[in-house]
A = this chain, B = another copy of it.
Amino acid sequence: MNTPLTPQIKRPGGRSAQVQTVVRKALEELIAQEGRDKVTVPAVAERAGVSASSIYRRWGDVNGLLGETATQRLDPSRPLPETGDLKGELAAWARELITHLNKAGNTSLLKAAAALAGSEDTNCLKNRRAEATVLVNRAQARGDAAPSVQQVLDHMMAPIIYRLIFGSGVQPGLADQLADELFVLANPNGSA
């Protein structure tokens, strides 16, 4: 490889990452301020100060951009809790999720993502299943009684997401209540 004379221009990786950052930021601002319906590729391009063609080239269309941004942004980037107590770990996991999804713009992005969901690529919540699987598998490896991964999704994730989309807000304390309910449901006789 040749050493570039003008690194700012000749480093496509850096430039591309920069475009992605400004485009995602413009998209999030537009959704939060104007709503999903006002989000078009030309509108995002104008706000981001990039050409529309650079967006079409990278993301295909506005749905590709929305789906990828939702998958990225709705992912709270943090290590999973690990305390040796599954119920407490699930409650902490759900609390972080609620706090993250309550942030400005993220609930709007969640609703926009719901409209796109249904295929592997656009399902912005698939990483939550993977995380629940890690937590449940660790508890089982310790020999602890544990609900199934599907029960975690049905009785903790689903009520949180349902209330965020169709309800009027969610408090972080809901996480503890749902963890309590899940453990009653999955372990009705209280045996460990």
The chain A residues found within 8 Å of chain B, CB to CB, are: 36-37, 62-63, 107, 111-112, 114-118, 123, 125, 151, 153-155, 157-159, 161-163, 165-166, 168, 178, 181-182, 184-185, 188
B125 touches A117 (CB 8 A): no
In the complex, what residue of chain B is closest to A147 when comparing beta carbons?
Answer: B181
Cα-based distance from A20 to B151 in the complex (angstroms):
42
7 CB contacts below 8 A, A to B, read A118-B165, A151-B181, A154-B159, A155-B185, A158-B158, A181-B185, A182-B185
A157:B162 contact, CB within 8 angstroms: yes
Distance in Å: Cβ of A136 to nearest Cβ of chain B: 16
Copies of this chain per assembly: 2
Interface SS majority for chain A: helix
Chain B residues within an 8 Å CB radius of A165: 114, 117-118
With both beta carbons as reference points, the residue of chain B lying nearest to A62 in the complex is identified as B37
Bound-state CA distance A37–B157 (Å) is 27
A63 to B62, CA, bound (A): 18
Residues of B with C-beta under 8 A to A155: 154-155, 159, 181, 185
